Amino acid sequence: MIDLETIYKAHERIRDTVVKTPFAYAPRLSEESGMEIYLKKENLQVTGAFKIRGAYNKIATLSAQERSCGVIAASAGNHAQGVAMAAQMFGIKALIVMPESTPLTKINGVRYYGAEVILAGSNYDEAYGYASKYGNEHGMVFVHPFADEAVMAGQGTIAIEMIEAMNDLDAIVIPVGGGGLISGMASAIKALSPKTEVIGVSAVGAPAMKESFEAKKAIDTTSVRTIADGIAVRDTSEITLKHILESVDRIVSVDDEEIANAILFLLERQKLVVEGAGAVGVAAVLHDKLNDLKGKKVAIVLSGGNADVTLLSIIIEKGLIKSGRKMKLTVTLVDKPGALMQLTEMLQGLNANIVHIAYDRTSTTLAYGDANVMIHLETKGEDHQSQIRALLKEHRYLSSEEH
């Protein structure tokens, strides 16, 4: 494990730079899960994620000569912003290599801190390969997002803050991608509170670390695909795996649907904007991956809040449909004056609010003289939607529903 003194030294270095983020009871989540849940809100950290902790600690431990060469990093976003901000604070050059699919909000976040951005590769590992080669060729110091002791020690400072605030936690649930966060945190947790269970949560679409943990050897995967881009790591680091095998008790996984549900739950019930990687712990709790913890005192790390707005809007839209608050219908009617008005007046009578409507009379599947009307409705739940379906059937409308 990483030496506890090393983590405490990192804590002293970053104390005046990072935010001591809120660590608070979550009543709605506790009620939903049957556990006593506390959330460590690193989504409210400066730069919007925990990564500034490790990045700043790493750069702070470099010599003046090393800093003068500048730093380079590869990242899907949060580590990039952490390195960029830390480099700006030390007044040194930073170059960040990001995957080509990185959301614009994260690219702009990096540029805001004055760093240069290069887009290369389809995922983190390809961006890493480019950055590693570029750094060697140009004599820049590579700041690894997870496989570096100074970085891991910086991330471990989260655990110090949590345990200083609450030393009787039964379990701490932590996102797992490359393993830097959980390696640093688990080292501190097992040194300060050995009885506290350390549980990692990975994405089903990025299974390398979970499979490696279970096999007790490094296993790489051929591809990754998940909305949790912050933990979408294809290959397993031998360095972080060693720490994880020493100090992590178990790793569970959640799929994209479960992650999306957790993002929406946090947004609506906890009033927190959390990105996919940051929401995996809540997803594990909400979707019964940790049922043995019912009645226990459990802390969950919300590792970041830099959610892509485009993805967030899709998650909200799908969530409204799944929860019965939005309904998308295609209704076939006779294409004659007054037909559409008759349909809308009927829906009005049931207090269904039309938010979008489109008319199609040219589809090859339609009989001549018919038209399809695509309607999006705001509804008041499944019972309300059942009333709408029954009314359409009663008036002999042909209708289909989009799910």
Same domain? For 176 and 90 the reply is no
What is the domain count for the chain? 3
Same domain? For 222 and 101 the reply is no
Same domain? For 347 and 229 the reply is no
Same domain? For 224 and 314 the reply is yes
What is the reported pTM?
0.90
- pLDDT given for residue 402 in this prediction: 78
Same domain? For 218 and 311 the reply is yes
C-alpha 106: how far from chain center = 13
Instruction: State pLDDT tens for residues 342-375.
Output: 999 999 999 999 999 999 999 888 999 999 999 9
- pLDDT given for residue 50 in this prediction: 97
Domain that holds residue 367: 324-402
Same domain? For 76 and 186 the reply is no
- pLDDT given for residue 77 in this prediction: 80
Closest of 249, 187, 240, 175 to residue 6, by C-alpha? 187
DSSP string, 29-90: HHHHHTSEEEEEEGGGSGGGBTHHHHHHHHHHTS-HHHHHT-EEEE-SSHHHHHHHHHHHHH
Ranges in the chain, pLDDT < 70: none
- pLDDT given for residue 75 in this prediction: 87
DSSP state for residue 371 in the 8-state scheme:
E
The CATH number that applies at residue 377 is 3.30.70.260
Residues annotated as catalytic (active site), given as ranges: 51, 303
Residue after which a domain boundary falls, among 302, 318, 334 = 318
Same domain? For 182 and 311 the reply is yes
Residue after which a domain boundary falls, among 81, 112, 142 = 142
Same domain? For 42 and 101 the reply is no
The CATH number that applies at residue 247 is 3.40.50.1100
Same domain? For 61 and 180 the reply is no
Q: What are phi and psi for residue 251, nearest 5 degrees? A: -130, 130
CA–CA distance, 75 with 69 (Å, rounded to integer): 20
C-alpha 105: how far from chain center = 14
C-alpha 184: how far from chain center = 19
- pLDDT given for residue 320 in this prediction: 92
The DSSP element (H or E) to which 365 belongs, if any, is none
Residue after which a domain boundary falls, among 263, 288, 318 = 318
Same domain? For 216 and 357 the reply is no
Torsion from C-alpha of 162, 106, 84, 121, nearest 10 degrees: 110
Q: Are 287 and 254 in contact (CB under 8 A)?
A: yes
Closest of 72, 77, 89, 29 to residue 49, by C-alpha? 77
Same domain? For 136 and 175 the reply is no
- pLDDT given for residue 222 in this prediction: 87
- pLDDT given for residue 125 in this prediction: 77
Same domain? For 186 and 302 the reply is yes
Q: For CA atoms 185, 218, 231, 28, give the dihedral sign.
A: negative
For 351, the 3-state DSSP assignment is: coil
